[in-house]
Homo-oligomer: A and B are copies of this chain.
Amino acid sequence: MIGVYDSGYGGLSVLRELRAVLPRHDFVYLGDSGRAPYGGRDTDTVLDFAEQCVERLFEEGCRLIVVACHTVSCVALRHLQRRYVQGPDSQRRILGVTIPAAEAAVAVSQGHVGVIGTTRTISSGTFAMEIAKLGPHRVSAHAAPLLAPIVEEAWEDSDIARLAVARYVAQFPGIDTLVLACTHYPLLLPAFEAAVGRGVRVLDPSPAVAARLLDWLARHPGYAEEGTGALRVLCTGDPDVFRRHGARFLGAELPAVQHVAEEQGRLAHRDSVRVVLGQVVRDSAPGAKTDPPR
C-alpha cells in the first residue's frame, strides 16, 4: 500500500498518473485540505503539517509515501526523510516530486527552463538547485499566488483564469519549457498552452513522477507488492467538499472520503472534534493543555 500526501486536492492529479501505471497497487491518499493552501505558510508550519500527515499515513500501514505536493517536496522532503527514514534497516521510504520534475524538464529543455509554483515553492529555490545538478540550464522561477486559489474556486475555465495565467506567463520571456510546479496547475493546462505560444512546452511533471516511481519499484521490489487497485481517501477538511472537488483532479469519482479532524493544531480523531462558530474564547489558564508554550 502506497501513501500519497498533498496539502489538498492537487495531489490527486499526481495520484491519477500513479494509478495509471500501477493499476493493481493499493493507495491511501491524505489531503490536508482543512489547512490548505500551504503555499504562503512559514517553514515551521509546513514542517509540522508534513510530519503529522506522514505519521498518519505510516499509521495507516504505508511503508512508502509519495509527497505529491511541490511546496512540501521543495521545503520539507529532506527533513521528513531524515526524521522518518533512518538507516538501511528502516522499512520506510518517502519520495517527492521535485527531482522527477527537474529531470523531466532537463530532458526536454533546449536550455532555458521556467518554473511556476506557489510563493513557498519558488522562494525555496529547490527547483533551481535540482536543475543545476543536472545540467547548465538557465532557470527562471516566478510565483503565481493567484492560480491555486482560482482552481480551488473551480474557476479554471474562466476568463479570470486565462487572464491571470497570461499575466504570469508574460514574466517568463525566452523560456523553452515551463514546469507546472504546483499540482493544481494541470487543471489550467489549456490556459497555459494558449498563453505560452508556439515553441514553448508546458510540462506537467505528474507523468514523470509516475514513471520514476515505477522505475524505483523495479529497483526496490520489496515495496512493489500488488493489491487489488483499492483506493482510500482521507482529508482534514470537509469530506463532502473534498469528494466533489477532488473528482476534477483525479479525473474520476472518488470513493467515500474519511475525515481526519484537527484539534489544537494537531491531527486528531473524529470523536474529539468541536465545531467552532463565531467568537472563540480559548481557555488560557496557566499550564492548561490548550495553552501553547510561550
Interface residues of A (CB under 8 A from B): 34-37, 40, 42-45, 47-48, 74-79, 82-83, 123-126, 129, 145-146, 149-150, 152-153, 155, 158-160, 163-164, 167, 262, 264-266, 276-282, 284, 292-294
Distance (whole angstroms) from the CB of A54 to the closest CB of chain B = 13
| Residue from A44, A75, A79, A262 having most chain B Cβ neighbours under 10 A | A44
B83-A284 in contact (CB<8A)? yes
| A42-B262, A124-B278 known; A292+B48 contact, CB < 8 A | yes
A-B CB contact pairs (8 Å), 12 listed: A37-B40, A44-B282, A44-B292, A45-B265, A75-B279, A79-B279, A79-B280, A124-B278, A145-B149, A149-B149, A159-B159, A160-B163
A153-B145 in contact (CB<8A)? yes
Given A34-B42, A45-B265, A74-B278: 11 more A-B contacts, CB < 8 Å: A42-B265, A76-B280, A79-B280, A124-B277, A124-B278, A124-B279, A125-B278, A126-B279, A146-B150, A160-B163, A160-B164
Distance (whole angstroms) from the CB of A48 to the closest CB of chain B = 6
